[in-house]
């Protein structure tokens, strides 16, 4: 249930907020009073997302393009004067078994899921003051063996370490940094895995459900609830946490 007091007048930036988990989070923040600015790479999905969030702003930005991120943050500084909550949710999926893994694919995944996310956090700090919060979207794939998951899992594992590093270095600034690591979630990202046709995706989905003790996929809104908690004053004594939202998949197996 939305609580209008948690984010009233807060300036919230959602990187990768144009679909799936990011969109659910952007909608949740706005429902609780936040002024939301979201990004994505697809102008069409950004427009569709903004149509569901009255008053929100959006911009087409590739998190892997550091110059574009500089320009985006300059715009945020001019329009909003700062950032109270940053959600780093931008990312790409995909699977490649070790025999088919290529340097180009590795670099593409890491440019977005690790390098881009790390520097997005670094660049945002100049706009964040005491009491601000950063939440990063990780994945249980960064903690477990999944066939074909080397590039993605390594990037998310690196991002989990980066989150803890940011949390440790920002704690004296009174900026909290936490991570939410989803398990199998029903989002459009599942259906955009390079090299996987509809049948392969359906098979992957069945495998995912079988690996979840709750025997179902999670929803974007369930992940958003965890993100909003960590971003709120209710989590004021929590930093460097990595909250698994996975139906028990990693903890129970």
pLDDT exceeds cutoff 60 at 142: yes
53 sits in the region (left: phi over 0; alpha: psi -120 to 50; else beta) called beta
Q: Kindly indicate the confidence band of residue 1, based on its pLDDT and cuts at 50, 70 and 90.
A: very low
Considering just the CA atoms, what is the radius of gyration of the chain in Å? 17
- For residue 197, what are its two tokens? 């046709």
- What is the per-residue pLDDT for 95? 85
Give pLDDT, residue 187. 79
The DSSP code for 115 is I
Strands 176-182 and 85-88: unpaired
| Domain residue limits, the chain | 11-245
Find the range with the poorest average confidence among 105-114, 164-173, 206-215. Answer: 206-215
Question: CA-CA distance, 228 to 11, in Å (whole number)?
Answer: 13
Quick check: 61 and 39 in contact, CB under 8 A? Answer: yes
> In the CATH scheme, what is the homologous superfamily, with its name and number, of domain 11-245?
NAD(P)-binding Rossmann-like Domain (3.40.50.720)
Does position 117 have pLDDT exceeding 80, yes or no? yes
Q: What is the pTM of this model?
A: 0.93
Run of H or E including 27: helix 20-31
* Phi, psi at 242, each rounded to 5°: -125, 100
Over range 127-147, report the average pLDDT.
Answer: 95
pLDDT at 177: 99
Distance CA 174, CA 132 (A): 7
- Residue 154 — very low, low, confident or very high, per pLDDT cuts 50/70/90? very high
Bridge-based pairing state of the strands 85-88 and 133-137:
parallel
Q: What is the pLDDT of residue 202?
A: 81
To 10 degrees, the CA torsion angle through 22, 184, 148, 144?
A: 100
**67/210: higher pLDDT:** 67
Task: Supply the residues annotated as catalytic.
Answer: 152
Residue 87 has pLDDT above 90, yes or no: yes
> Cα separations (Å) of 34 from 45, 174, 188, 210?
21, 20, 25, 37
151 to 41, 91, 92, 198, 230: CA distances (angstroms): 21, 12, 11, 22, 27
Beta pairing class for 242-245 and 85-88:
unpaired
State the chain's mean pLDDT as an integer. 94
């Amino acid at each position: 249930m939305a609580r209008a007091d948690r984010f009233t007048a807060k300036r919230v930036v959602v990187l990768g907020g144009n679909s799936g988990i990011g969109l659910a989070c952007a909608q949740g923040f706005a429902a609780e009073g936040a002024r939301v600015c979201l990004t994505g790479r697809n102008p069409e999905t950004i427009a569709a997302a903004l149509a569901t969030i009255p008053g929100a702003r959006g911009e087409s930005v590739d998190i892997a393009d550091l110059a574009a991120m500089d320009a985006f943050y300059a715009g945020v500084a001019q329009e909003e004067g700062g950032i109270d909550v940053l959600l780093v949710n931008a990312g790409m999926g995909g699977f490649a078994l070790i025999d088919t893994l290529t340097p180009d694919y590795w670099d593409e995944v890491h440019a977005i899921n690790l390098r881009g996310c790390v520097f997005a956090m670094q660049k945002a700090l100049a706009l964040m003051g005491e009491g601000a919060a950063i939440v990063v979207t990780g994945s249980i794939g960064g903690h477990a063996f999944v066939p074909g998951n080397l590039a993605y899992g390594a990037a998310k594992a690196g991002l989990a370490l980066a989150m803890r590093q940011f949390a440790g270095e920002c704690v004296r600034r009174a900026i909290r940094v936490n991570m939410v690591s989803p398990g199998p979630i029903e989002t459009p990202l599942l259906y955009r895995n390079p090299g996987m046709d509809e049948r392969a995706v359906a098979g992957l989905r069945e495998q995912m459900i079988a690996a979840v003790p709750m025997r179902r996929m999670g929803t974007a809104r369930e992940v958003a609830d965890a993100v909003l908690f960590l971003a709120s004053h209710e989590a004021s004594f929590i930093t460097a946490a990595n909250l698994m939202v996975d139906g028990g998949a990693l903890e129970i197996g």
